[in-house]
Chain A
């Protein structure tokens, strides 16, 4: 198979397409006039919902912060708040940046660059989110335990079933982190190649 043969197949398809005028005025106008949902709306909807849950938990922690009566519980509370506020805000602002790419203003090259950069940032944030979530377990558990049941986990020894649950969670999280990292590495590598190509 030669390139010329592919070119001739493409030209033949183009000619056929030129003869097929199947779209009607009504269909075209329907596409332009209906309240068309941007493809990002669905994505940002889930992200926004996730962010709302995080903010709600953050508010709960803020309102009950006075229950954290030792410096280490307060430190855990501060880290928990940081995790619950900073990460969702960063993800949402990155999604907004992708959404706001000006299709008309930038050239294909420029928009592709912005898109790949922003997508990389989003992937990195998701990666950070997984790792921070993993570490965050060690901060969130003492905070929620103190606020909800008034128990200081640092002073109470863990029961056997709690140790088992925690171990299983940690092992599962470690596998998940490793899997996510491999996927991330693969995507960013191809994105990097594309960016080099754009230079």
Chain B
């Protein structure tokens, strides 16, 4: 029982993080909901093996991103998936056209990156340092730096060409 309480509190606290991870690896709401559910399932499955030597969010990023790698789009929705649509996030309360357009463009550009680039730029957008990104991805910090500057250049070129 105690475990359930701790887990649900953790998910509620960091649901935004999970929403963001699942949003960059999927192309539509339906796939995102399925991936979101899969991530929560995996987090629960491995919850006992979480050790306090890492930050809980680092662990969550890792499980969520690793789960997303193997996510396969389905043509048909499973009948037994939890209907999270009605609680799922999330249009802004305030209507800000500039912000929405930027967000739309951001996702549009992210879709053109490969899985590794997507993961790196996502963590960068999340404000993670190169060391933290290295810890989550398993790349060396210097490699992270090199690759991120390459992805930034690629994004910039894409944005200029649009």
A residues within 8 Å of B by Cβ?
A: 1-3, 5-14, 16-18, 20-25, 27-32, 34-40, 42-43, 98, 101, 103-104, 106-112, 115, 190, 193-194, 197-198
A12-B125 Cα distance, complex, nearest whole Å: 11
A107-B137 Cα distance, complex, nearest whole Å: 6
B125 and A20: CB pair below 8 A? no
A17 and B109: CB pair below 8 A? no
**Chain A residues within an 8 Å CB radius of B92:** 16
In the complex, whether B56 has a CB less than 8 A from a CB of chain A is no
A189 CB, min distance to chain B CBs, angstroms: 12
A131-B139 Cα distance, complex, nearest whole Å: 39
Q: A20-B89, A98-B70, A197-B116 are in contact. Are A25 and B62 (CB under 8 A)?
A: no
B contact residues, total (Cβ < 8 Å): 65
Question: Which residues 1-46 of B have a CB within 8 angstroms of A?
Answer: 4, 7-8, 11-13, 15-16, 19-20, 34, 37-38, 40-42, 44, 46
B82 and A30: CB pair below 8 A? yes
Chain B residue nearest in CB terms to A8:
B102
A15-B103 Cα distance, complex, nearest whole Å: 14
- 1/0 per residue, CB under 8 A from A, across B58-100: the answer is 0000110111011110101010111010011110110000010
A73-B109 Cα distance, complex, nearest whole Å: 58
B15 and A17: CB pair below 8 A? yes
Q: A25-B12, A197-B147 are in contact. Are A17 and B20 (CB under 8 A)?
A: yes
Question: In the complex, how many residue pairs between chain A and chain B have their CB atoms under 8 Å apart?
Answer: 159
A40-B49 Cα distance, complex, nearest whole Å: 23
B residues within 8 Å of A by Cβ?
A: 4, 7-8, 11-13, 15-16, 19-20, 34, 37-38, 40-42, 44, 46, 49, 62-63, 65-67, 69-72, 74, 76, 78, 80-82, 84, 87-90, 92-93, 99, 102-103, 105-106, 109, 114-117, 119, 125-127, 136-139, 147, 152, 155-156, 159, 162
A22-B87 Cα distance, complex, nearest whole Å: 6
Among A1, A11, A38: residue with most chain B CB under 10 A? A1
**Chain A residues within an 8 Å CB radius of B11:** 23, 28
A-B contact pairs, 14 of them (CB 8 A): A1-B102, A9-B106, A16-B93, A17-B20, A20-B16, A23-B15, A31-B41, A32-B40, A36-B81, A42-B78, A104-B49, A104-B62, A108-B119, A197-B117
A43-B75 Cα distance, complex, nearest whole Å: 11
